[in-house]
Structure 1
Amino acid sequence: MNIEYRRVPLTEDGLGPEEGPFLEPLGYVLFVEKACYFGVLPPIEILNEMFNEGSIVSNRNFNLLWSPFKLSNEEYRELVTAVETHPEWGGEVDTSFNGVAEDWGHWALIRSMEKFDSQR
């Protein structure tokens, strides 16, 4: 699944000029543009909250903008497959999270720190 989006640089002086539109695979936007939640694909409910808002700040200080939408279960399964088969995105799928949406970011951060520590 592809997504059309725009980028607005966030600068010390405010907002820069809008860039785009760009049309890229959804996994690219999540794992390259946004640097998705410490490299972990969130559950569909969390992604749909974000997609429904129509914007998010990326790891490179861009506000990413798109028309609000929600993924179907089939589209989410396709995204999972794409993430698992595109190692250049640096993402992974970890289905062990079983908390509420408000706890997702914290869980992903702790999980990435534990993974980093175990690799040392």
Structure 2
Amino acid sequence: MRTTSQWDIVCTVDDLVPESGIAVWTPEGPVAIFYIPHRLPALFAISHTDPFSGANVLARGITGDLKGEPVVASPLYKQHFNLVTGQCLEDDSVKVRTYRVLLDGKAVRLEVSKAKTLVEAA
């Protein structure tokens, strides 16, 4: 079975905060979008849900760089998640979902399943 996808607009570049994240709501669940303008690519998207607590908080984490890789530290228990792969650096058995995200003019687009449509941006 093939899964098809589409690129939904979830926010605009004006909604983004440099070196930080914002949360958007999709039919697939909450997603954290991070804007790190000094990196290429500058946009990253991962699940907003912290797998250790179950709370939707990852967009509020502190971004940084560990061993040359962009990361976010969970604001609750401080685990670091690689923004490219979703891998938890402190626990190899834990990974958050990553999403493809791109800037289209001023629109930020997120790849979601085609059967689902954008509900709202948070």
Q: What TM-score, normalized to structure 2?
A: 0.27
The structure with the greater share of residues assigned to strand is 2
For the pair shown, the structure with the greater C-alpha radius of gyration is: 1
Higher RCO structure, 1 or 2 (CA under 8 Å, sep 6+): 2
